[in-house]
Every structure is written in structure tokens, then in C-alpha cells.
Chain A
Amino acid sequence: METGIHELTAGYALDALDPGERSAYEAHLAGCEQCRQELSSFWETTEALAVAASGPAPSPALRERILAEVRAEAPQNVVALESRRRRRAVPVLAAAAAIAAVVALALGLRAFDLSGQLDDTRAALDRAQSSAAVLADPGAQSVDLQAGEGRLVVDADGRAVLVLDGLDPAPAGKTYEMWVVPGGDIEQASSAGLFPGSEGREIVPVEGTVRAGDVVAVTVEPAGGVVAPTTQPVVASDSV
């Protein structure tokens, strides 16, 4: 890697590059994973600089103006559904929402989008609520991790939640994938869902049922997930 252009990462994160260099840097960035990581990290630092500038609250009228403008142009945003549909694992609902959105677009309506939106919100809420139910269940079993920080909580019905501390977001192009591993035999691992990882504590519901003798593990896999683990686990529970 060229040192000169690498150094521009700071100027880019600070929006201080001149137009020519900015274009050159963006072209370089597309092919340089090291610079992309450095930039992600520098952006976190510039976010801190933004926080350091915080002061008085904006006028409430600003919020209203933004929302009014957004409402005025709402329909054009609906096309975003199309790309989302391909990424999601709930094809039936998402496809229905996408069709509704196309119809809505054709008719110049936007209310149709509500169905998809509510499904999504409900799904998120359901996940949050079922995790909370497992964590709040006094009969649930708390299982230590043999790798990684945190614990696995499993209720009497085999519903499980991973509580993870200190797991960084998955690297670019990667995802965390959970596995239920019967008897700790990696050959029998079945996928139990994907999550991107985030700063701080993470609470992730494990898909499927966790039974006595199972191990729950997490590996780093290519975005979109894989059918069988391809890397060493970064998190693994004791046997349930």
C-alpha cells in the first residue's frame, strides 16, 4: 500500500481533502481494505469531535420542518424495499410488502407500505420481547461460556438467548453466525441465526431449540451466512 494515499484517510474522515484528492482517495478506498478499516475507526474519532461541539438544543421547529419535508416526498423512498427483499430471510412477508409497494407507487399511495413496515417492527418487537421473557424467567438456566465473554440463558422450553460482552462488530463483508451444536459435535452444527455485532453488550435470541447436551457457538462467516461453520468459534458455551 502506498503510504501517501493511506495518510489521506485522516483528511478524508475530517472532510478536509481537496476535490481532486478526495476522488483519488475514494477510488483507492474501493480496493483497500486496510484503509476502509482505518477510515471506520477514524470516523469514530470524528464522531467524538462532533460530540465535543454539542451545545444548545435546536429549535423544535427544525424537527417539524424535517418531518414535513420527508412526508412530502415519502413515496419515492418506497423503492428501497426491492433491494431489501433480496437480503431478508422472510421472503413471503417481504415479497408481499414489495408487491404492495409497487402497487402503492403505481397508484401514488404510500399507505400500503404500512403493512411491511409494521411486520418488520413487530418482528423486531417480538424478538426483543421473547428475549426479555427468557431473561426474566426465574426457571431459566444460565450457562457459562468456555470461549468469549457473557453467558447463555436457556429456558425450560429450549428457547435460548446469548448475552455477549465485548464482541466488536463483525468485519466488513462478514457476519456473526450462531450455531446449535448437539453434543459439541461440530459436524452436527445447525445454523441458529446471524447478527452483525455491536459495541457494548449484545443480547441475541438463538433461533431454534437448545436441548440438554447442546453447545451454542458463534463463528465469523461471510455476509449472508453459511450452512456449516467454516471458522473457529469466537464464542462457545459450555454444554447445556
Chain B
Amino acid sequence: MEATASAVLAWPASHAWTAMRKRHAHLSDEALVALVARGDEDALAELYDRVGRIAYGLALRILRDERHAEDAVQEAFLQVWRSAATFRPERAKASTWVLTLVHRRAVDLVRREERRQADPLTDDSAAVAAAEQTDEAAWLRFERERVQSALKQLPDLQREALELSYYGGFSQSELAERLGVPLGTIKSRMFSGLARLRELLDESAQEGSWRPEFTS
């Protein structure tokens, strides 16, 4: 399991360039969550400044509607605020935890709203929009490209299962029905796909891809 650690992006020190004058800029994401647990609003603001953009991009990809995506991000950050004391740093990085909450919220909303008419596989407007961003940090662009290239190397059926569930919000049983395959097939396809993606990300991380060092 330890080997997979390299798949993850470390939040880069480059945040410091935009956050230098801020009181909490020197703290790790995990330290910020600890301060949030004590009711520190500035720590929450700093956490939002670090993770908010990815959170919004994820919610927008799932919900395909700016207003709904903003609602999902807002609700997730309120949940961060209320439940920061339950965060366990040994289980996940703070950024991972926040994005998990955002994802869960967005998926809940998309299921409730039945906003899934469009097929995530044929809709690449999100990717196109992302590619045109000129104001995003270089590390984010590189990291996105690295993950997208790993996704492309997955067998089609595995990639489809991951994309429809993670970006489309489809549950395993919904996918089984939609794709006309047994539930057990979907379960193992999802497991193999995620495990394979993890391997591919590990490999590309070890090839010396750009990976900033976090020094706090």
C-alpha cells in the first residue's frame, strides 16, 4: 500500500505565492483542518483557497450547472466546518477528505435532481473548458494532464465504469442496468479499473513527473 503514496499530488508550496500575506499560509492542509475544528474562520478560508477550485471543477463536472455546483461546494465546506473535529489525518490527506465530501454532496444532488441525461463519455465540454483555462496554476494543469493520460491507458470498459460512476454519479446497480451487464461484473470492473488507475498514476509519478515538494 505504501507504494501508492507517490500517486498523490502533494499540495505545492506555490500556494505560498498567492497566500504569502495570509496568516495561515505556512500551515499544512492538515493543520488548517485542526484550526477549523477550533472554529478558526481564516483557516477555513485558506483551505477553500487551496482546494476550492478543484472542488468546484469536480462539482461542475458532475452537476453540469454552475448554480448547483456552487451549492454542492458550499454545502461541503459547511460540512468541513462542522465536522472538522472528526477528520482523521491517518486515514486521508485533508484535501482528499474535503474532495470526498464535495463528491458525495454532488452525487447526492445529481441523483436527487435526475440531472444525468447527458452521457459523461460523450460530453467533453468540461475537458475543453478546462484546457482553455489560462489563470490556473501550472501544477494543476500538469497534474490534470497526467491523470487524463493515465485514464486513457485504461481498458475502455474499466474507464467507462469509473467515469460513469465518479463523474456521472451512477451507482453500481444503475450502471449494471444501464450497461446491461450483471452487477457482479460492474463491481469487479470498478475495482480492477480503480486499482489499475492507481498503478498507472504510481508509474507516471515515478517517471519523474512534475511533483512539487511540500515543505511546511
Contact = CB atoms under 8 A, between A and B. Distances in A.
Main secondary structure of the interface of B (DSSP, over half): helix
Contact of A199 (B8, B35, B100): B8
A54 B58 CA distance: 6
Nearest to A94: B38
Given A7-B191, A45-B198, A81-B38, A51 B54 contact: yes
Contacts of A17: 171-172
B153 interface: no
Interface in B8-66: 8-10, 23-24, 26-28, 30-31, 34-35, 37-41, 44-45, 48-49, 52-58, 60-61, 66
B56 A57 contact: yes
Contacts of A203: 215-216
B126 A55 contact: yes
A48 interface: yes
Contact of A36 (B91, B169, B195, B215): B91
B143 interface: yes
Interface stretch (A8-16, A137-145, A180-188): A8-16
A41 interface: yes
Contacts of B92: 40, 43-44
A223 B91 CA distance: 13
**Size category, A interface:** 35 or more
B144 interface: yes
Given A18-B172, A46-B100, A70 B147 contact: no
A88 B84 CA distance: 16
Contact of A66 (B27, B78, B173): B78
A77 B82 contact: yes
B214 interface: yes
A117 B28 contact: no
A92 interface: no
A199 B48 contact: no
Contact of A54 (B4, B77, B144, B151): B144
A234 to B, nearest CB: 12
Given A45-B201, A55-B61, A171 B129 contact: no
B136 A110 contact: no
Interface residues of B, number: 98
Contacts of B175: 16
A170 interface: yes
Interface centre among B49, B54, B136 (most CB of A within 10 A): B54
Contact of B70 (A58, A76, A173): A58
Nearest to A173: B90
B135 interface: yes
A77 B172 contact: no
A46 B197 CA distance: 9
User: What 7 pairs between A and B have smallest CB-CB spacing?
Assistant: A54-B57, A58-B56, A16-B165, A52-B147, A53-B61, A55-B130, A80-B85
Interface of B: 1-2, 4-5, 7-10, 23-24, 26-28, 30-31, 34-35, 37-41, 44-45, 48-49, 52-58, 60-61, 66, 69-70, 73-74, 77-78, 81-82, 84-85, 88-93, 95-96, 99-100, 102-104, 107, 126, 129-130, 133, 135-136, 140, 143-144, 147-148, 150-151, 162, 165-167, 169-173, 175, 187-188, 190-191, 193-195, 197-198, 201, 211, 213-216
17 contacts: A15-B104, A44-B7, A45-B194, A46-B100, A50-B99, A52-B147, A53-B126, A55-B57, A56-B133, A66-B48, A67-B44, A67-B48, A73-B82, A80-B38, A172-B90, A200-B10, A200-B214
Interface of A: 7-11, 13-18, 21, 36-59, 62-63, 65-67, 69-71, 73-78, 80-81, 83-84, 110, 113, 116-117, 120-121, 124-125, 128, 168-174, 196, 198-201, 203, 223
